[in-house]
């Protein structure tokens, strides 16, 4: 049985986890846009997220393969040639 307090904590934890997931997703999207030339650093604004190794096409390719985003994989392969 759950108490009201533990349910509130779980909701807060879930919101924090979702925010982190959104930041991670956005960081990979930013890296993808930079790699494919759709955006440059100036287009990303004053604050933005990027993976640590965002200039590594193999890392980005692996991420989008895992996410089954094959069109993005094709664009990454084209961009690194």
Residue 6 confidence (pLDDT) above 60: no
Q: What is the pTM of this model?
A: 0.78
Which letter does DSSP use for residue 9 in this model? H
Confidence of residue 12 (pLDDT cuts 50, 70, 90): confident
CA distances to 24, 52, 66, 67, 80 from 17, rounded to whole Å, are: 11, 20, 20, 18, 33
Q: What is the pLDDT of residues 49-60, one digit of tens each?
A: 999 999 999 999
* Largest Cα–Cα separation, the chain: 57
Give pLDDT tens digits for 56-72.
Answer: 999 999 999 999 999 99
């Amino acid at each position: 049985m759950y108490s009201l307090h533990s349910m509130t904590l779980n909701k807060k934890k879930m919101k924090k986890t979702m925010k982190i997931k959104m930041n991670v997703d956005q960081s990979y999207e930013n890296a993808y846009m930079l790699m494919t030339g759709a955006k440059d650093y100036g287009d990303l604004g004053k604050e933005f997220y990027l993976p640590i190794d965002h200039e590594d096409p193999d890392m980005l390719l692996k991420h989008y393969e895992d996410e089954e985003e094959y069109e993005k994989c094709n664009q990454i392969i084209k961009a690194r040639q």
